[in-house]
Amino acid sequence: MNPVVSFLLFIISPFISFLSSLLKPTSKTSFVIYFMFGVLFCWHMGAVQGNQYDDYFSIVERFQGSIYTLTDFWNILCDFVTFQTNEKEVYPILLNAVTRLFSDNSHLYFAIASIPYLLLSLSCVRILVKDKNFPQQGIWALLIIFLFIIPRDILTVQNPRYTTAFWLVNFVLLKYYDRATKNRAHYLLLLLLTPLIHSGIVPMVLIFILYLCLPKNYGFIKKLFYISIPFSFFSYSLLSQLNYSFLPANLSLYVEAHVDEDYYNKYVAHTGSSGFFWVQNLFDNLLYWGYVVITFLMIKWGAHKDYWYGKMFQTLLLLFSLSNFVRFIPVIGDRYIWTVQSLVVFLLCKIFYPQKKRVFVFILFLWSFHIFMRWFYRGAGTLLVNGNIYYDNLYTLITDYL
């Protein structure tokens, strides 16, 4: 579609413009539409009719309960890098301070938070689609892009810390291993910023840096992956019995909070949830083991032999091993598998597309239950944003929350 027509259509109906951009999902115009609609979507984030959805309420309460200036942010940042503060990360403080420059409106907070998220995630997608073998339009292009972003989609901006750090890590990994990258050291420096956004990223950063520093031994890395798999069966109760006082104060509090019984009941046992939660657990495990099987297949197919992406595959195996080792830790265990999921799709596309393209259909099947539960049964598309995002014009959608 002509860019002028696309932007005019965006003024009349942003959502229809977004849908039309999917006809040629890899074009530059489509990426601009994705960005604009994403910001508009996050501007509309709110608990519709008072419904609770994931972390949204807690993030709003945190924003409304604290007021920061850019001076506050700078002072806290200085204390953070000199280990003189109890703050775990400073990114939320920066978002708060930037938002307060303009308004106390929480809708603006999420719109601003969406900007780095969208810049990073769309930059990753651009790296994915720029290969000459990538289909420029059609169902396969949409499917691969969708599976690449679904682990941390636009809905996750409701809690912008981890989802922004997630895409920053992905961006660094993809650029570091990109054949067109000239100075990879710049991206390593960028990687060191991720703990400022979310402290839970630190183990991933350390694993990657350690991999770069040590001699590359694919046989050892592959064995480590195999050894890590039984750890994914470990029980949470093992962690709850340990004493974490030997860790630094901030870190021990963080770990103890994640192994607390109440935390476990809420995020793992889901006490008080529907009796059908066992179905959720079943499909969670199906999704996890599906990615394990796909990784086994990639090992069998010789992904490590690829000239450009073989070393990225070794990094994937290390991150998957880390994910296996911590899988039984509530919430933390999930976070590392999300990065693995995106990298699996990326490497499948770069190394094995189109020869193994049916694997993408298998991955879609693995995600099918979660898509249904997230977007339809629990109604994220209507519980987290008002329904008029799908039919109103641009002017109305902007002025709704001014």
Q: What is the DSSP letter of 385?
A: B
Separation of CA 258 from chain center: 20
Predicted confidence at residue 200, as pLDDT, reads 83
Query: Which of 344, 318, 322, 346 is closest to 335 using CA atoms?
Result: 322
Beta strands in 268-355 (DSSP E): none
pLDDT value at residue 87: 78
* CA 90/CA 77 separation, integer angstroms: 6
The residues that bridge with 385 in the sheet, in sequence order, are 45
At residue 254, the pLDDT reads 54
For 82-138, where are the alpha helices, taking DSSP H only? 91-100, 106-129
DSSP state of 349: I
DSSP labels, 350-374: IIITTTTTHHHHHHHHHHHHHHIII
Mean pLDDT by 10 residues, the chain (402 residues): 89 96 94 97 79 76 92 90 81 96 95 97 95 88 96 92 94 92 88 88 86 88 94 63 51 54 49 58 89 96 92 94 83 83 96 94 94 74 82 94 89
Question: How long, in residues, is the chain?
Answer: 402
Would you report the helix, strand and coil content of the chain in percent, each value rounded to 5?
75, 0, 25
pLDDT at 2: 83
Burial, 29: exposed, middle or buried (Cβ in 10 Å; 0-12, 13-18, 19+)?
middle
Please give the distance of CA 141 from its chain centroid, rounded to a whole number: 20
Residue type, 19: L
Task: Choose among 195, 183, 33: nearest CA to 118.
Answer: 33
CA 50-35-125 angle, to 5 degrees, is 110
CA gap 301, 280 in Å, rounded:
32
Q: Which two tokens stand for residue 398?
A: 């902007």
Given this model, what pLDDT does residue 181 score?
Answer: 87
Contact between 151 and 341 under an 8 Å Cβ cutoff? The reply is yes
pLDDT at 313: 96
Whether the ω angle into residue 354 lies within 30 degrees of 0, i.e. cis, is yes
